[in-house]
C-alpha cells in the first residue's frame, strides 16, 4: 500500500506488459522503456524480475479488489442478486483490448507454476483472497435460499473463478471477448438454476 509513485508506475506498466507478452517474454528493459525508467532505477525499487512479478501479482489483486469493492452492484442487499450482480459486472468489464481485461494471475500461473514456486504462491494467494470475498456472498445466499444444498460456498466460488479464467483463454484464442461473455452467461444461468431463480417466460411471438 501507499507505494512510492515511481514504484506504482512501474507496477502499472508491468500489469499491462506482462498481460500482453507473458512473464518470461517480458524483459526488464520492456518495463523500463514503457514506464520511462532506466534499469538502475528499476533495480532500486525491485530486487529482480521475480520480485517484480510477485509485487505485480499483489498489485493486480489490490486493483481488482478495489474495482469490485466499489462496483455499483455492491449496493444490492439480497446476497443472491448481489452474486448475480458480480457475474453481470464481470461480463460488463469485458471491454477494450485483451490485456486490459484479462487476468495477470492466470497468465503468470500458466507459465511459471512449476519453475517459480514463489510467483505461483503469490498468484494463488491473490486468487484465494478474491474467491473468498465472492464465497462470502455465496455463503450468505446459500444460507438464506438453499441451506440444505450439498455443494459448498467455497467450491462454487472456485467454479466461478474457473469459468472466468477459462473465458479469458477462449477470448485470447478468438481475439475478442464475445465467446467469453457467452460463457459467463452460462455461468449466470447455472447460478440461477442452482438457486431456483424463476426463469423468464419463453415468449412465443404471435
Partner DNA sequence: ACAATAATACCAACCAGTCGGTAGCATCAT
Partner DNA sequence: ATGATGCTACCGACTGGTTGGTATTATTGT
Interface residues with DNA (CB under 7 A) are 4, 6, 26-29, 37-41, 43-45, 48-50
If the CB atoms of residues 68 and 194 are measured against a second copy, the closer one turns out to be: 194
Cβ burial, residue 188 (10 Å; 0-12/13-18/19+): buried
> Contact with a second copy (CB under 8 A): which of 48, 100, 143, 155?
155
Give min distance, CB of 89 to a second copy, in A: 18
d(CA 23, CA 21): 7
d(CA 191, CA 84): 8
Of the ranges 37-45, 75-83, 105-113, 134-142, which one interacts with a second copy (CB under 8 A)?
Answer: 105-113
> Contact with a second copy (CB under 8 A): which of 109, 135, 138, 141?
109
Q: Is residue 199 classed as helix, strand or coil in its secondary structure? A: coil
> Contact with a second copy (CB under 8 A): which of 1, 70, 75, 202?
202
If the CB atoms of residues 79 and 106 are measured against a second copy, the closer one turns out to be: 106
Residues in the chain: 206
Spatial neighbors of 23 by CB under 8 A, at least 6 apart, are 53, 107, 108, 111, 112, 119
If the CB atoms of residues 33 and 162 are measured against DNA, the closer one turns out to be: 33
Q: Out of a second copy, DNA, none, which partner does residue 143 contact, by CB within 5 to 8 A per kind? A: none
Cell numbers standing for residue 131? 474467491
Helices and strands in the chain: count of H runs, count of E runs = 10, 0
> Contact with a second copy (CB under 8 A): which of 31, 112, 134, 138?
112
d(CA 154, CA 63): 22
Q: 186 φ, ψ to 5°?
A: -60, -40
Chain positions contacting a second copy, by CB under 8 A: 20-25, 98-99, 105-107, 109-115, 120, 123-124, 127, 148, 150-151, 155-156, 158-159, 161-167, 169-170, 172-175, 179-180, 182-183, 186-187, 189-190, 193-194, 202
Amino acid at each position: 500500500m501507499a507505494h512510492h509513485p515511481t514504484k506504482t508506475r512501474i507496477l502499472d506498466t508491468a500489469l499491462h506488459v506482462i498481460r500482453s507478452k507473458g512473464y518470461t517474454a517480458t524483459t526488464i528493459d520492456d518495463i523500463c522503456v514503457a514506464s520511462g525508467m532506466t534499469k538502475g532505477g528499476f533495480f532500486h525499487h525491485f530486487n529482480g524480475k521475480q520480485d517484480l512479478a510477485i509485487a505485480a501479482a499483489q498489485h493486480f489483486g489490490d486493483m481488482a479488489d478495489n474495482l469490485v469493492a466499489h462496483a455499483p452492484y455492491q449496493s444490492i442487499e439480497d446476497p443472491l442478486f448481489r452474486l448475480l450482480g458480480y457475474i453481470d459486472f464481470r461480463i460488463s468489464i469485458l471491454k477494450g483490448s485483451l490485456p486490459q481485461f484479462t487476468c495477470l494471475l492466470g497468465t503468470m500461473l500458466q507459465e511459471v507454476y512449476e519453475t517459480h514456486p514463489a510467483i505461483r504462491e503469490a498468484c494463488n494467494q491473490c486468487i484465494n483472497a478474491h474467491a473468498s470475498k465472492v464465497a462470502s456472498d455465496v455463503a450468505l445466499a446459500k444460507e438464506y435460499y438453499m441451506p440444505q444444498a450439498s455443494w459448498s460456498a467455497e467450491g462454487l466460488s472456485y467454479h466461478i473463478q474457473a469459468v472466468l479464467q477459462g473465458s479469458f483463454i477462449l477470448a485470447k484464442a478468438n481475439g475478442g471477448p464475445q465467446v467469453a461473455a457467452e460463457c459467463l452467461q452460462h455461468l449466470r444461468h447455472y447460478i440461477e438454476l442452482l438457486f431456483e431463480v424463476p426463469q423468464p417466460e419463453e415468449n412465443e411471438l404471435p
